[in-house]
Copies of this chain bind each other. A is one copy, B any other.
Amino acid sequence: MSSIDLSTVRTFLLGLQERITHAIAEVDGQPFMTDHWQKEPGETLQGNGITKILEQGRVFERAGCGFSHVRGPRLPPSATQHRPELAGAAFEAMGVSLVFHPRNPYVPTVHMNVRMLAATPVGENCEPVCWFGGGMDLTPFYGFDEDAVHFHQVCKDSLKPFGDDKYPRFKQWCDEYFYLKHRQEQRGIGGVFFDDFQELGLAQSFAMMQSVGDSFLQAYLPIVERRKDSLFGERERDFQLYRRGRYVEFNLVWDRGTHFGLQSGGRTESILMSMPPLASWSYQRPNEAGSPEERLYKEFLVRRDWV
């Protein structure tokens, strides 16, 4: 693949969205609602997308999985500050992004995203430039070593064919990205995260993104199956709602995609599919010494090597 065929990437992403939502709907027993959207003529961004969402299911309280494919006349300054040669370049971006909020507090919340950006530099005979990005990360309410090890092992395995350096680099990148600076807390137990990736050449970089996307169900579903019927009470529910507040804080304050999307006229309801169905806040909520809630903060919401 000397230049990338964008329709191949699009086909992969649409298939990935289908496979994931189909498998999640099977587990839940409730289908996703599908919403096709298209940018209005005259808007700065042009393009279309498919939003799939399952709300108030048996296993998932809110699960959103979106595909989008947009084109713009010029890259925003925030995207070109490290690449001056691309200032003002026309671009095309597509991706699949998901956040699943389970009902049972013993099942972790999960996020996965894979994306591609192609830009055509201004000038004569300029070839388009292409990068890939993506990753997945897990946010438990109650920590289990075996879940964290499993999730990270699948992430690591998915990257193995692309070089032994990839997992450690992308694991660290994930820890650095999903960090709530104002709380001095990790968002969860991490996973992998990469961006602006093209160092293996187009074909292999695309293959790596595919491998990460394709491994998502294997990373997450066994954990869902293992935990979804755990007994829980008001205490665990309260803690889940409180911790979901942190998810809101991260996404609205720190997540570049969310923040930039909302401020630059992205499709609000698709961007905010990541919000939890219900979240709570309370002042300086204490954790009982030795409790599983305290253990989450001390042993799981810290940077750790899991595999």
Contact = CB atoms under 8 A, between A and B. Distances in A.
Interface stretch (A41-49, A79-87, A277-285): A277-285
Interface in A250-298: 252-253, 259, 262-263, 265-266, 268-269, 271-273, 275-284
A235 interface: no
A152 interface: no
Contacts of A281: 62, 272, 275-277
A249 interface: yes
B253 A262 contact: yes
B249 A55 contact: no
A191 B272 CA distance: 28
A248 interface: yes
Given A252-B249, A252-B253, A253-B263, A182 B279 contact: no
A75 B217 CA distance: 49
Interface in A18-58: 33, 35, 51, 53, 55
> Which range holds the interface residue count of chain A?
35 or more
A100 to B, nearest CB: 14
B283 A280 contact: no
Nearest to A270: B283
A254 to B, nearest CB: 8
Contacts of A269: 283-284
A55 B282 contact: yes
B278 A241 contact: yes
A131 to B, nearest CB: 26
B183 A268 contact: yes
Nearest to A54: B283
Contacts of A62: 281-282
Contacts of A182: 262-263, 265-266, 268, 271
B275 A245 contact: yes
Nearest to A51: B283
19 contacts: A35-B284, A53-B283, A55-B283, A62-B281, A62-B282, A181-B263, A182-B262, A182-B266, A241-B278, A248-B252, A252-B252, A253-B259, A272-B281, A273-B283, A276-B281, A277-B280, A277-B281, A277-B282, A279-B279
Interface of A: 33, 35, 51, 53, 55, 62, 64, 181-183, 241, 245, 248-249, 252-253, 259, 262-263, 265-266, 268-269, 271-273, 275-284
- Nearest 4 pairs between A and B by C-beta? A252-B252, A275-B281, A182-B262, A182-B268
